[in-house]
Chains A and B, each alone.
Chain A
Amino acid sequence: MIKKWLCCALIVVFMVALFAGCNNSGNGNSSKGNDAGIDAGSNEINFDEDPFKITFMTIITSDGAGLDDVEKAISEAALRDINMTIDIVPTSFGNHNQQVQLALSSGEPLDVLMMFGNNAPTYIDSGYLIDMGPLLDQYGQGIIEQLGEDVAYAASMNNFVFLTTGFKEYCYPYGLNMRADICDELGIDPDAVKTLDDLDAVFATVRGAYPNMDILVSGLMRFTTTDNIDALTDNFGVLMDPANNTTVTNRYGSDSYYEQAQKIRQWYNDGYVKKDMAITTETGEAIVMAGNAFSFFSLFKPNTAVEKKSQTGYDMYQAWLGASTMSTGTISGIGYAIANNTKDPVKAMQCLNWMYTSSEFMNLIDWGIEGRDYQYIDKENNIIDYVDGQDYQTVAYHVDLGWALPNQSIAALWVGNEPDVWEQYRAFNDAATRSLAMGFTYDPTPVINQVANVAAVVEEYEKPIYCGTVDPETAIPAFLEALENAGINDIIAEKQRQLDEFLASQ
């Protein structure tokens, strides 16, 4: 008798445990109700009403309890400046897209989020985002001042501004990073290297002195925005001369592509390129750090030297080789958007505006709490370093993702950078040519099958070509034929049509 009752009790316990796991999360209908026109009210902050809670989803690379104090400090500052509290939802690079999808599709509270530009077509189509264009006009003056007007509105598709970029470099010239110690030893002057042909002599010299060293540990044309090309999102149909010409063409069939393929093939045959380059997944930085390598290509920005030194452990000289153009693609890679779930888009934009203009916020979110996570070593030049006795392993909070955060130019500078590095960035950006297609993002839906097929073809042929493993004489014609069979001409025609429509509406 008792056994039977014990049995029943156990069963009930199991059942309860089963259903306890079911969480009655919020209902699935996310509101489409924010279509109501943006109230052209004043930009004044109303301190008499209750503080508005902003939910901010962004990538935080620092784990651990350090975030809680930072979040509290940020909320205090926000309360004081704009009468809002901020609830930070941290994600990582690996799961950011999934977290965003979950939050946006389940109607969870979300106001401001970091997003990757290549998700724009999907998010806009699904109604996840709010058009920031009108909001920027009214409430985003700070952002416009910091970024410049054309950059602030650049990330848009069919006149829907989907994100605002962080402050960083907006064009990506490429060049060769070379081991400084070897260059000095052999008398190689990085500034004298201006073209790829100049490198022949450099490589030969290094090979003569170091017969067993890997001379070049990266491929050549993997950078999608080199040679002043506007990649128009995916490189399937590009603008070869975006500052002057708006004809969409096939990059892989161009003369410059062929010439560069010949060049890397020549270096492969001369033994300068690792034979396994096409199947290596290591980056050039990692291989140089391991020891026996001389140079690799990468994208450059004003303080590349500092970055490469910390990534490889060696001093590296930069030989600048290719110019680059500012385009929608270079600007809208990563940035901040306003979710459709927000209860008040105006307040969300005001919060974002504050993030772009508040040094206090930027220092807190990038570097942490002063005194605990960092200290000033040069207050006048705004330079900081770890607190004595701490390093990157022991510090409680240290994100260092300046290029992904709203405005790194108003935050403190990490040690090693020159004090005027932000001026250098601004000069760098101002000097860059702009693509005529700025503000244009194409919608791939009409040609989605062709895009899928072309993507597979590019995966198959591109890497062996840009690592010199195959002979371009035979490989490039085969590549072009496969591209045609996959439908690249349809994609080009569609892109041209959309681009012409966009330009006509400007």
Chain B
Amino acid sequence: MTKSEITVPATSGNRLLRQWRRVKKWWPVYLMMLPGAAYLIINNYIPMTGIVVAFKKYNVQDGIWGSRWVGLQNFEYLFTSKDAWIMTRNTLLYNLAFLVINNVLGILTAILITEVNRKRFRHFFQSMVLVPFVLSIVIISYIVFAFLSADGGILNHTILPALGLDEVDWYNSPRYWPFILVIVNAWKGVGYGSMIYIAGITGIDKGLYEAAELDGAGKIRQILNVTLPSLVPSIITLCMLSIGRIFYSDFGLFYQVPMNSGTLYSVTNVIDTQVYRMLITVGNIGMSSASGFYQSIVGFILVFMSNMLVRKISADNALF
């Protein structure tokens, strides 16, 4: 038995001893971890206590801890307005649509890209597909404006007349916008989403494909039976992360792209934009914190619940 190998019976008292011995042995490593851990605790965990602001009437002189408790008063405005139900409905439906469509398109794009044999072309397509993601949403909203504008837009003035159809007043017609927003969001986000799937696919053992080909499987069969099942862990992880943010929305997408047109609010108003509109003049810190609390608590509960569900179905794929 050398000095560095200390085995002790695994009883709880000695567990502490083992931990301590481990720290003593590896203390430079623990020390290196300290700044990062300190940063994480200070920047991410300690501010969580500020969540109490949602239940207080915040007064800068008294600070967070000295301000008065007001119970659920800050939440009233979220639920009493007539639009409260609409904004929640819009947020949920859009996020579910984005979840499904972006993942399907992401997997499709990843499969197509990995099927390209010439390396140079493959890298080219990978980069091209990422370009919309790095564009600012304001620029994208003007690209959409160039298409849909009533005064000079390409659709109204070139494409629709060529097809023999009438002009459409896009920015005042709510019914087209769910489709427009889903398309714009997919165009912007697919490149980024497909990156994880590309990594997943390139990690699949080539031997599996050879075996499938030997068994007589065509391309489509191979994709269905080899690629997709191997991607299931990535899909589950990404889906669960999305579920955690199911009450959040991309503010730029829902505010900038419809150009803040009032007539479209019934289909473009989500929790983030509605709260912004309500509080930009009022500026009440307690009320805006209440909205953030609402969104994050719901996401938190949903992540836990979906993780429990996944653990029941296939324990390996659960997040925790």
Residues of B within 8 A of A125 (CB): 59
Given A449-B76, A486-B82: A462 and B150 interface contact (C-beta under 8 Å): no
What per-residue 1/0 map shows which CB atoms of B79-90 lie under 8 Å from chain A? 011110000000
Q: How far is the CA of A18 from the CA of B39 in the complex (A)?
A: 9
- Which of chain B's residues have a CB closer than 8 A to the CB of A30? 61
Least CB distance, A116 to chain B, in whole angstroms: 11
Stretch touching chain B among A77-85, A295-303, A451-459: A451-459
Question: Are B151 and A276 touching (Cβ within 8 A)?
Answer: yes
* Interface presence of A182 (CB below 8 A): no
A448 within 8 A of B: yes
A486 and B255 CA atoms in complex are apart in Å by 22
User: Which chain B positions have C-beta within 8 A of A281?
Assistant: 259
State in angstroms the CA–CA spacing of A18 and B31 once bound together: 13
Bound CA span A7–B29, Å: 10
The 8 Å CB contact of A455, one of B31, B61, B263, B282, is: B282
Partner-contacting stretch, out of A8-16, A249-257, A398-406, A497-505: A8-16
Q: In chain B, what residue has the closest Cβ to A459? A: B277
From 35 to 78 in chain B, residues with beta carbon under 8 angstroms from any chain A beta carbon are 35, 38, 59-61, 63, 76-77
Q: Closest CB of chain B to A21's CB: distance in Å?
A: 11
How many A-B contacts if CB must be within 8 Å?
101
Inter-subunit contact B60/A18 (CB<8 Å): no
Indicate if the CB atoms of B150 and A275 lie closer than 8 Å: yes
The stretch of A331-339, A364-372, A463-471 in contact with B is A463-471
A444 within 8 A of B: yes
- Known pairs A453-B77, A459-B277; A122 contacts B283 (CB<8 A): yes
Q: Is the CB of A127 within 8 A of B61?
A: yes
Kindly provide the distance from the CB of B9 to the nearest chain A CB, expressed in whole angstroms.
32
Q: Are B63 and A28 in contact (CB under 8 A)?
A: yes
How far does the alpha carbon of A126 sit from the alpha carbon of B285 in the complex, in Å?
Answer: 13
What residues on B are CB-neighbors of A158 within 8 Å?
A: none
B190 to chain A, nearest CB (A): 27
Q: Chain A contacts of B38 at CB under 8 A? A: 18
A278 adjacent to chain B (CB < 8 Å): yes
A30 to B60, CA, bound (A): 10
Residues of B within 8 A of A463 (CB): 261-262
Do B259 and A279 touch across chains, with their CB atoms under 8 A apart?
Answer: yes
Let me know if B77 and A452 touch, CB within 8 A: yes
> How long is the Cα–Cα vector from A14 to B39 in the complex, in angstroms?
13
Report, as a range, how many residues of chain B touch the other chain.
35 or more
Pairwise interchain contact A451-B281, C-beta atoms closer than 8 A: yes
Residues in B with CB closer than 8 Å to A453 are: 77, 80-81, 278
Interface assignment of B315: CB less than 8 Å from any CB of chain A = no
Residues of A within 8 A of B31 (CB): 11
Q: B278: which A residues are within 8 A, CB to CB?
A: 452-453, 455-456
A11 close to B83 (CB less than 8 A): no
CA distance A324 to B32 in the complex (A): 68
> Within the assembled complex, what's the spacing in Å between the Cα atoms of A485 and B82?
7
Q: A279-B259, A279-B260, A469-B263 are in contact. Are A101 and B60 (CB under 8 A)?
A: yes
A469–B261 alpha-carbon span in the complex (Å) = 11
Contact A486 B263 (CB under 8 A): no
Chain B residue with minimal CB distance to A4? Answer: B28
Contact of A448 among B149, B171, B282 (CB under 8 A): B282
Residue B172 interfacial (CB < 8 Å): yes
Q: Which among B60, B277, B287 is the interface contact of A126 at CB below 8 angstroms?
A: B60
A4 to B61, CA, bound (A): 50
Which of A4, A15, A126, A453 counts the most chain B CB atoms within 10 A? Answer: A453
**B308 proximal to A (CB < 8 A):** no
Does A482 interact with chain B (Cβ within 8 Å)? yes
**0 or 1 for each of A1-33: is its CB under 8 Å from B? (1 = yes):** 000100110010011001000000000101010
B313 at the interface (CB under 8 A from A): no
The smallest beta-carbon distance between B252 and chain A, in angstroms, is: 14
A475 closest partner in B (C-beta): B263
B60 touches A104 (CB 8 A): yes
Assuming the contacts A463-B262, A464-B172, asked whether A14 and B80 have C-beta atoms less than 8 A apart, the reply is no
Distance between Cα atoms of A73 and B83 in the complex (Å): 56
Distance in angstroms from A449 CB to nearest chain B CB is 4
Residue from the list A18, A28, A32, A278 in contact with B262, Cβ < 8 A? A278
* Residues A105 and B60 in contact, CB atoms below 8 Å apart: yes
Assess whether A274 is interfacial by the CB under 8 Å rule: yes
| Bound-state Cα–Cα, A285 to B8, Å | 82
* A14–B80 alpha-carbon span in the complex (Å): 52
Q: In chain B, residues 263-292, which have Cβ atoms closer than 8 Å to a Cβ of chain A? A: 263, 265, 274, 277-284, 287
**Nearest-CB residue, chain B, relative to A235:** B281
Of the candidates A4, A122, A469, the one whose C-beta lies within 8 Å of that of B172 is: A469
A126 and B59 contacting across the interface, CB-CB below 8 Å: yes
Least CB distance from A119 to B in Å reads 8
B151 in complex: contacting residue of A7, A234, A275, A482, CB < 8 Å: A275
CA distance A229 to B195 in the complex (A): 58
User: B168 an interface residue at 8 Å Cβ cutoff?
Assistant: no
Is A460 on the interface with B (CB-CB < 8 A)? yes
Chain A residues, CB < 8 A from B34: 15
B83 to chain A, nearest CB (A): 7
By a CB distance below 8 angstroms, the chain A residues around B172 are 464, 469-470
Which residues on the A side are within 8 Å of B150 (C-beta)? 275-276
A314 within 8 A of B: no
A460: chain B residues at CB < 8 Å are 262, 265, 277
Residues in A with CB closer than 8 Å to B81 are 452-453, 456, 486
A456–B28 CB distance below 8 A: no
Pull 22 A–B residue pairs with CB atoms less than 8 Å apart, ordered by A. Answer: A11-B31, A11-B32, A105-B60, A234-B281, A274-B151, A275-B169, A276-B171, A279-B171, A444-B282, A448-B284, A452-B77, A452-B287, A453-B80, A455-B281, A456-B81, A462-B262, A463-B262, A464-B172, A464-B262, A464-B263, A469-B172, A469-B263
Q: Which residues of A contact B (CB under 8 A)?
A: 4, 7-8, 11, 14-15, 18, 28, 30, 32, 101, 104-105, 119, 122, 125-128, 234, 274-276, 278-279, 281, 444, 448-449, 451-453, 455-456, 459-464, 469-470, 482, 485-486
Known: A452-B81, A452-B278, A455-B277. 17 other contacts (CB 8 A): A15-B35, A28-B63, A101-B60, A105-B61, A126-B61, A275-B150, A278-B262, A279-B171, A453-B278, A456-B274, A456-B277, A456-B278, A459-B262, A463-B261, A464-B261, A464-B263, A485-B82
Top 8 nearest A-B pairs (CB, nearest first) are A279-B259, A452-B278, A275-B150, A449-B77, A456-B277, A460-B262, A105-B60, A126-B60
